[in-house]
A and B are shown apart, each in its own frame.
Chain A
Amino acid sequence: MTGEWQRRRRVRQRLDRIFAAVFLLAIALSLLTLVVLLWDVVRDGARWLRWEFLTSYPSRIPERAGILVPLVGSLWVIGLTALIALPLGVAAAVYLEFYAGDSWLSRLIEANIANLAGVPSIVYGLLGLAIFVRGLHLGRSVLAAALTMTLLVLPVIIVATREALRSVPVSLIHGAYALGATRWQVIRTVVLPTAAGSIMTGVILAISRALGETAPMITIGAWAFITFLPRHPLDGFSVLPIQIFNWAARPQPAFQQLAAAGIVVLLAVLLSLNAVAIWLRNKYQKKAEW
């Protein structure tokens, strides 16, 4: 009896160890894919990763092709998106946290935000095409793209900002009210300055999502072959992911390598944005502890 029990116990413990390895393997495989992907992209793109690649205009000849136009276009789009989405998102979050209470209206808005977060990005592209490009006659412009991206990232910004607002100590808020401050004064002078660091972190992370979005940009008609830099929100434009998509979709290996080089540039911009976000978060946390 006891012998049988001990034997089963050994089997169970061996199973436990085996499955620990299996579960660990799942993580390892996932992370391995990530490593292989990055390595593959860098290897493919290495040949084109030169300074001229960053400073050249597009070309039908791979040797002369560069990424300047979509790079600048991407910076335009995310910059303008940030400019529009930041105040809108923060205002909406402030409304939900400090004004809405528990009304049917606030529940409606919250349900909308939750649902919008699950809408496929390409559907936002269809919306942007119908409303901004055609309805408001903005054409296939930087502004139309930024407005589309604003709607896309708004739910993310609102959720992140609400979390940041909630982390402001209630004691500070009550301290300000006790001095006779109005609600908006409390928000403007105490809540927003205190939460600014984590709000910015959330906004940058949301914006970096917009940087990689391709499908809605294609839908609203960003052009891959465009030979001028946007100077104006109503100018046409291209963005990094669209250029990458176009190069990748061509059969010639040279263009596919250009796509890889473009991906490296895209990931580098993404990485810098994330680095800024992390730096902001650390800076903010240190201040909060102090």
Chain B
Amino acid sequence: MKSRHFIIHRLAWSVFVLVGLSILIFFIARVIPGDPARMALGPRAPQWAVDNLVKELHLNEPIYVQYWLWLKGVLHGDFGTSLVTRRPVSADIKEFFPATLELIVVAAIIETVGGILLGALSARYSGSWFDSLVRLIAYLGVVTPAFVWAIIFMLIFGYVWPILPILGRIDSNLTVPPTVTGLMTIDSLLAGDFEAFKSAFLHLLLPALALAMGGMSQAARITRASMSENLSRDYVGSEMAAGIPMKLIILKYVLRPSLIPTVTIIALDIAAMLGNAFLVELVFNYPGISRYGINAMLTKDLNAIVAVIMVIGLAFVVMNFIVDLIVAYLDPRIRLQGGK
């Protein structure tokens, strides 16, 4: 009963956040200087063509009317036309979003597993050489931006010791599997083409690792800190006194409360990857939504900007929702006291 209440509450909140975000971004995109119609058509286009485009985009209407028209479209799955690609924005998103999604899923797995494992081991053996090593790497990981990792990995694994592919989504002499989900790995599996799957997967590794380094380091540090803190709690002493084996105490009794801050950090970092992937996608020449979004901003491609931001916003909302569920699972105080 209580958990259903909790979920409905959170869902309503999510919708509210998304609507708020759409209003905000819609207005901001329109008030920043620069005439989108002129930019789309170029400086030499005749004035009548620009005027026509302005009318077509309803840019001459009051802004709340524009928003209303936009919202009506969105509810029918229509995000308008891109001024640059001249295709429906939704088609562009459908093409670029799965590529980034795939990248982020792999990065998220690396980040979660690596961060928790390193942090937990480091806390367990705190003071050892292993702990010092992890702390050093984690420190470097936090202060080094993802694109620097991207370049380092590219140099190491692409040139010095070329064991992994560094450009694009799949080997250029393989046939690209027919698009079903847009996720290259899944599509190649659906087509039964294991060679393509292997290639697509290997192409993901370096960009995903570069993307995950920062978050993984952050997660390792947080996990280490919260595990150390929990390890010094009295209940660990009483569990030891009861003769419960140390391994069980750590893996069960200490890990669960320690994961609460970690989960929050990881999830928000994953959502942020959608936007942060830009330079990594650029370095690895990876056709993802982050690159698309930055291009849209540079060209003031109004519909594309709003759509990309909405996708990123949606990702944050979904991740937040997932975090809330996981944290509620981990921490009964939140679950049973109504999400305060």
Q: Do A and B bind each other?
A: no
- B residues apposed to A, CB below 8 Å: none
